[in-house]
Structure 1
């Protein structure tokens, strides 16, 4: 049994190392430069890692590139990267299409391709890249260099090179503090707001306050608790309004009001039921006495 486990472990490690070491296998690489009428001017067959001597193509020529992928997996990307050999270091990527048989190709017409090819006579390095999600090791092949001659008439204007430099410093000006209203005016309106409460207490002092209902509730603890909770929730709602007016923002106020309103609704129903019950009892007592 131990020998079988050892053999199985060795087999798994060997297969794992094979998968990790696997890379793309590319063959039948062919590079052609053809004129506008289809005449082949240059035809190179390459084998990795062979490098082409410098090629030359005019702005009306086309570049044909073919290859074959020998792996069973199809590549996720296959392209040739052109990089200008000057101060601008422009990069142009040309993607290739790959069939199910593994054969891939692209044809690049310089007159219709990226405008960077027509900014003048420039040299480009060519790098062939193949990659995919199931094979860790990508394929990178430096093919060589090609010189593409610019058009003889009406060449496109190259965009001005952007120079990054420090901009003038921005000085932010904060808005001046809002002027508060005069203290005398605000105090006057505060007294006007408190005037109804003063009148209420004055009338209570003249008419008197009937504490009989509270004495009656003393013999019914649940009703007394409901009354205390109801008046406490009403007081809490008033305090929330005051806090919103002074310093609390809207969303916390809505949360507090939601909880206090629910408590006031439940306890208020109980208090009103008690009041209605006492009123009916007094009505029955009045009927019996009459």
Structure 2
């Protein structure tokens, strides 16, 4: 009985390695051959491979040979296609390795071929044999296979140079030192001086142009007196902008310049609108051309005055000579002829009473009405009237107005108004012409400004006439201070 038990234990021990080997991936029918170039079919070396023990001697591969590995991959001793199958070559001294995938079919047949061209430069230069291992793995519970199966010795002619390696290698690179573009430098001093002199040379030309075109420098004191703070702040902001540009040119960068320029620009706009607003109305009245909104009221007033029609002949009631008073004796005589005078005591009433009725029947009153006769009406003498045309033509004279026209104050006022309106219209129409000597008529707004500048600000008449474009001597017609003044 003891002999039988020992025999069973021995058989179990011999079967255990086979069971362990069969529980995973492996291969069978492995064949390794080195086919030389030009040797023909069957001229190469062939060796059988075992999945449990590598070859005892290294396999030599020269530059004319091709290594060919052929085997059948199995899982639990059943031919099957794995998910991954590689032949890995590893150099023992440096530890470098490279893997070559096997071409596997559905029945487990796998094949891989190698020659010198497929090997990297590092393995071609190896002086010791390279270890070749087979890697097989897939999904599932089966264990993978990773064991060395042979060693490969590279036979290379030492006179032939190694091929250059252009493969992409990952590793530590050299440190990169970034070199940025240098900061911009100022141009040479001579270039800066040339452009500075060119800019400064334009200042005398600008001053000459101002004086030639009639720059109103005399009004500077008046403007500073009327609104000093806006003028000073506006001029200061302009100087500040120039200094900001100078700092940007010399030392500042763009981010330092923009906030300062924006702040000074806002101050310049606000102060400039207040400073220049004082002269807006003056320049508008002086330089506004005909046809704009500023000249339309004056043109409308002049046109309306020219269209107004006035009577050309005086009425008889205003030109007839008043009757001379009669002497007392003649008045008494007329009274005696007219009879006794009756003074009625009846008061005025809206209803006709008996006394009013008797008064209307007074024979003397009727006699007086009959003695007057028909009344001749005053002719209108319009352009289409033909009444008394012959006498009118005979009375008019081309030498000038009639004596009756000059004796009538109302008609004289109307004719003067017509004449002045025509002259004002001609004065406005001549604005802007070269031969225009200046304005003779001013509107109410300009007249108030002129009186304020002359009487309150103390501006001379020559400056006022030049500023408002008036004809020389027009302000003298207003008389001295106090004769004409503004009413508030």
The TM-score, its normalising length taken from structure 1, stands at 0.47
Higher relative contact order (CA 8 A, sep 6+): 1
- The structure in which a higher percent of residues are strand is 1
* Higher Cα radius of gyration: 2
The TM-score, its normalising length taken from structure 2, stands at 0.31
